[in-house]
Structure 1
Amino acid sequence: MSHHVRSLLTALLLSLPPAVLPSAAGAEEVIVGGYPVGAAEHPWAVAVASRAHLGDHRSGQFCGGAVVGPRAVLTAAHCLSPQVTGVDPADIRDLTVIAGRSDLRKDEGREIPVRSLWINPGHDRRTNAGDFAVLILSEPLPAHHAVPLAGEGDPAYAPGTPADVYGWGDTSGRGSFAMELHSARVRLLADTSCASAYRDSTAGVFDPESMLCAAVWSGGRDACQGDSGGPLVAYGRLVGLVSWGSGCGEPGQPGVYSRVSVIADELVAAGLAHR
C-alpha cells in the first residue's frame, strides 16, 4: 500500500478524540442460499445506511460492513459511489452504521453516525481493484464487537477453507431483499479457478494480489445485490469484503471479495484494528 494511503489512514486515527483511541486488545453484492442469523451473535456484521437517500424502508440500508475496531468499520469503496447512493459521498449528511440490529424493520441496536471516512484513492472502478473504504464512527462500539483481521500468509486464506458471508441483500437474485441479517457458508477457491472463471468477464478483472474468490462451485450460495462491503469470515478472522461477481449463486461464477490482507497491516499500525 502506498505512503499516500498510509498517511490518509493515519489522518483518520488522529481525527479521533485522545480518550477514545482504539486498543489493539479486544471483528454491489442478501445472501443467496443462506439463512437468518442474529446480529448479537455476529456483532461485527453491520449495515451501512442513509435514510435521507434510501428512505426509512429497511432502515435506509444499502451496503454492509465489518467492525474491525471500536470506531472503525471496513466496507467497499464502490458502496460510497454516486452509482450506488445517487450522490457524491460528501453530500451524504446522515451516513450511519447500524450495529446490533438483525431485523431492519425494528429499532434494536444502535444507529451510529459516521464521523469521517476514507475511500481508497486507488480503487479502480473498471477492474474493481482496491475496493476498500474505512468509516470512522462518532461513538465507539464495545471492543469485543470487532472481528480480527487475517493478515498476509494467514492459513484462513487457503483454498478449500470454509467461510461465512453476511448481509441483508438479495436472497434470490431477483430483487427479494432481506429484512433480517443472513449468512451463507461458502469455501475459498484457488486463485487459478477464479482467474479462469472471470477470464473474459466484463464485470471486472480478477487480481489475486488484491482479491479472492469464494463459492459453492455448483452454485446456490453467494452474496448478491445489497451485500457489498459485507464480511467474509474464516476461522474467526476477516478475510474478505463482498466486492463483485457475475450473477448471484450461478454455477462456475464465484463471488469475488477484496482481500483484507492488503489493508490489514496499515489498519493495525494505525491502531484502528487488530489481528
Structure 2
Amino acid sequence: MSRTVFRAVTGALALVAAAALIPLGSHAWAAEGGVVIGGQPAHVKDSPWVVALSSRDRFGESRAGQFCGGVAVAPKKVLTAAHCLSRAALGVDVASLRDLRVITGRDALLGAGGKEIPVREAWANPGFNPITNAGDLAVLTLAEALPEKSVVPMAGSGDAGYAPGTEAAVYGWGDTTGNNDYASSLRAAKVSVLPDAACAQAYSGGGSGTYDASTMLCAGELLGGYDACQGDSGGPLVARGRLIGLVSWGDGCAKAGSPGVYTRISAAIGWMPGAG
C-alpha cells in the first residue's frame, strides 16, 4: 500500500524537497527536487516573500534548523502548513518551542545577510484534520515587520491562477531527490495546476489519501518529474503573481500519477486570522 506523506520535517522525519514541491498531509511531507524535484536555483531577491521556518533546538545547526517553508502575506504574517506545527512534526507542543524563527532574505540557509525573526505567536487551524489533510494551514505572527515588498498577495475565489493548465511555481529548501538530499539554498520548480477531476482520480481514498477540491488543489505533472517533497511543507505555490496554495501532502515525490496536493488559499481567506 502506498503511503501518503506530509511535506515537512518532523522529529524523526527530514523534509524532502523534490523537483516540484510535494504537499504534506498526514502522510508524506514535501521537499524540493533537483532541489525541488525538477527545479532550479531561485533567489529571494526575485521572490522575497519565501521564508524558511527554523528551530535549532529541535533540528540542529547543520541547515540552520530549517524544517518547513512559509510565505509572507502581510508584514507581520506568515502562512505555513498546520502539520508543520504539530507535535508529530516538532516532538513538542509548539507553545513550548522557544526558538521558533522565520529566516527571510537569504538564499542559502547558512549564508550571510537576511534576518532570522522570532515568531511572537503561532496559530494552527483547529479544524485541521490530519486524517483527511483538510484545513492544513497555520498563521505565524512575527516579532518584527517585513518590508511591504516582501509580501505576496493571496488569490481569492475565481482568480485565474486556479484555472487548470495555469503555470505556477513552488519554492523550498527541501529534499531534492526523495532520498534525503536536502537543499542548502532555495530552489523552485515550474508546475501546472491540474484539473480537480484528475486530482480526485489520483487520490480517491485509501492509503494514498482523499482529494477534496473545496479545501485543496493539486499541481505538478501527471507523468511526474516535478513536485515538492519532504522539507517543503508550508511553502508557497504561486501563479500569476499571487499565492494560490501551500505545500501540504502527496504520495511520494514527483511520482507519475501522484501530483502534489496543496492547501487551497481561496478556501481559507475568509477564516484565517489576521492574514489580510
Q: TM-score, normalised by structure 2?
A: 0.86
Aligned ranges 1:206-225 → 2 under 5 Å: 206-225=211-230
The structure 1 residue matched to 2:145, chosen from 137, 140, 143, is: 140
**Partner of 1:98 in structure 2?**
103
**Partner of 2:179 in structure 1?**
174
The C-alpha deviation readout for 1:18-74, integer Å capped at 9, x for no partner, is xxxxxxxxxx21211101111121111100110111111111000000100000000
The C-alpha deviation readout for 1:187-206, integer Å capped at 9, x for no partner, is 00110100000114424221
- Secondary structure at the counterpart of residue 53 of structure 1: helix
Whether the 8 Å CA contact 1:33–1:221 is kept in 2: the answer is yes
Q: Where in structure 1 are there 5+ consecutive unaligned residues?
A: 1-27
Q: Quickly say closer, same or farther: Cα 1:135–1:252, change in 2 above 3 A.
A: same
**Partner of 1:46 in structure 2?**
51
**Partner of 2:157 in structure 1?**
152
Task: Look at both structures and tell me which one has the larger radius of gyration over its CA atoms.
Answer: 1
Structure 1 residue identity aligned to 2:275? L
- How many residue pairs are counted as aligned between the two chains? 244
Aligned ranges 1:255-270 → 2 under 5 Å: 255-266=260-271
Structure 1 residue identity aligned to 2:179? R
Whether the 8 Å CA contact 1:166–1:227 is kept in 2: the answer is yes
Shift of 1:265: 3.3
- CA distance in 2: counterparts of 1:151 and 1:266, whole angstroms: 13
- CA distance in 1: counterparts of 2:49 and 2:172, whole angstroms: 11
- CA distance in 2: counterparts of 1:149 and 1:176, whole angstroms: 31
- CA distance in 1: counterparts of 2:116 and 2:226, whole angstroms: 29
The structure 1 residue matched to 2:131, chosen from 120, 126, 129, is: 126
Structure 2 residue identity aligned to 1:224? C
Q: Where in structure 2 are there 5+ consecutive unaligned residues?
A: 1-28
- Secondary structure at the counterpart of residue 268 of structure 2: helix
Structure 2 residue identity aligned to 1:193? A
Identity across aligned pairs (percent)?
54
Whether the 8 Å CA contact 1:203–1:244 is kept in 2: the answer is no
- CA distance in 2: counterparts of 1:52 and 1:164, whole angstroms: 31
- CA distance in 2: counterparts of 1:232 and 1:143, whole angstroms: 19
- Secondary structure at the counterpart of residue 240 of structure 1: strand
Shift of 1:84: 1.3
- CA distance in 2: counterparts of 1:204 and 1:114, whole angstroms: 32
User: Are positions 1:272 and 2:246 aligned together?
Assistant: no
Aligned ranges 1:1-275 → 2 under 5 Å: 28-29=29-30, 30=32, 31-266=36-271, 272-273=275-276
The runs of 4+ residues in structure 1 deviating greater than 3 Å are: none
Q: Which has a greater percent of helix?
A: 1
Q: TM-score, normalised by structure 1?
A: 0.86
- CA distance in 1: counterparts of 2:233 and 2:202, whole angstroms: 20
Q: CA RMSD in A?
A: 1.1
- Secondary structure at the counterpart of residue 265 of structure 1: coil
Whether the 8 Å CA contact 1:203–1:246 is kept in 2: the answer is yes
Structure 1 residue identity aligned to 2:65? G
Whether the 8 Å CA contact 1:118–1:133 is kept in 2: the answer is yes
- Secondary structure at the counterpart of residue 193 of structure 1: helix
Structure 1 residue identity aligned to 2:156? G
- Secondary structure at the counterpart of residue 52 of structure 1: helix
